[in-house]
Amino acid sequence: MSDRMEGDRTGGARAGGEGSALPGRCAEVVDAFARHLRSERGRSAHTVRAYLGDIRHLLAHLGEQGIEELPETRLADLRSWLGAQADAGAARSTLARRAAAARTFFTWAEHTGRMPADPSLRLVAPKRTRTLPGVLKQAEADELLDLAAVRADDQDPVHHRDRAILELLYASGIRVGELAALDVDDIDMGQRTVRVMGKGGKERVVPFGLPAGRALEQWLTVRGRLVRPGSGPALFLGRRGHRVDPRQVRAVVHELLSHLPDAPDLGPHGLRHSAATHLLEGGADLRMVQELLGHASLATTQIYTHVSVDRLRQSYQQAHPRA
């Protein structure tokens, strides 16, 4: 930030609380941006909340710098916002998300005539560190599903449900939120496919194998024992007849994995990672896996190739006499 900007904006923030005016004046803009994210961009409720939180954080920072009108914002102001967070110890993933939110906001503001120019065009954040996702070994996945099948032998409908949930998560690689939102008629038992509503309201059809099909058939034969008035068409129900939510599904996965002492403690997303990794290890095409998982970008799917190479390297080091 230049000396002139330092003096004007810091002084404005100190004198009479002018710096706090911006967030209040921008309430209408934030509301309009929220409508844009929901209706035009089709963002999920979770993404909208995250983006709005980031933008409110940014507007508060701008207000503290004495910026009273949105068009006064400059690239240096956005960089100082990210820099202050970095100095406070914010994770690189947080900085990357907030930079993305700022770029989306200011691009929209320019296109809608609220800004004369987009100050975020050259805004960059530290690249995210891509860590390898935790995955089960194929033998561990088999053991987990065998455990769920054995537990379902007691004829408790919830245990049949749990088995079907695990089989479907691993067979299809769908997200936990996608699974919880499934209705009965989203399952095509004849074709062994499931119709999924993914991120951004994008629908896709995902195949599943015979073991998942058998588990789903058994669950559907006992599902009626949990149906209550108001259950509706939800595929998976809790004991009180309500649609299961992602939290319940996570609890099921964690609880069953706790019985496998050597397996990593993963949630439903770990089963998604495992499914993708095992498909690639089995020779599946990367673009096919991209379609299966519902990734918008192939770059997102490519992280699973690193998982497979890492497994290959470990096996080589353990087995090769000259490793």
Is 295 annotated as catalytic? yes
Q: In angstroms, rounded to a whole number, what is the distance separating the alpha carbons of residues 65 and 19?
A: 6
259 as an active site residue: the answer is no
Residue 211 burial (CB count, 10 A): 16
Q: Of 97, 103, 159, 175, which one is the catalytic site residue?
A: 175
Residue 298: exposed, middle, or buried by beta-carbon count in 10 A (0-12, 13-18, 19+)?
exposed
Q: What is the phi/psi pair of residue 284, to 5°?
A: -65, 150
Query: Considering 199, 214, 225, 250, which one is annotated as catalytic?
Result: 199
CB 82 within 8 A of CB 125: yes
How many Cβ atoms from other residues are within 10 Å of residue 150's Cβ? 11
Catalytic site residue from 98, 223, 278, 304:
304
C-alpha distances (whole Å) from 29 to each of 20, 36, 73, 204, 305 are: 16, 10, 14, 34, 42
Catalytic annotation on 269? Answer: yes
Q: Is 306 part of the annotated catalytic residue set?
A: no
Of 79, 243, 272, 273, the active-site residue reads: 272
Instruction: List, in order, residues 6 or more apart from 217 with CB less than 8 Å away.
Output: 189
Helix axes 157-172, 246-257, angle to 10 degrees: 90
The CA distance from 41 to 49, in Å, is: 14
Distance CA 145, CA 153 (A): 13
Question: 98, 273, 295, 311: which is the annotated catalytic residue?
Answer: 295
9 catalytic? Reply is no
Which residues does the annotation mark as catalytic?
175, 199, 269, 272, 295, 304
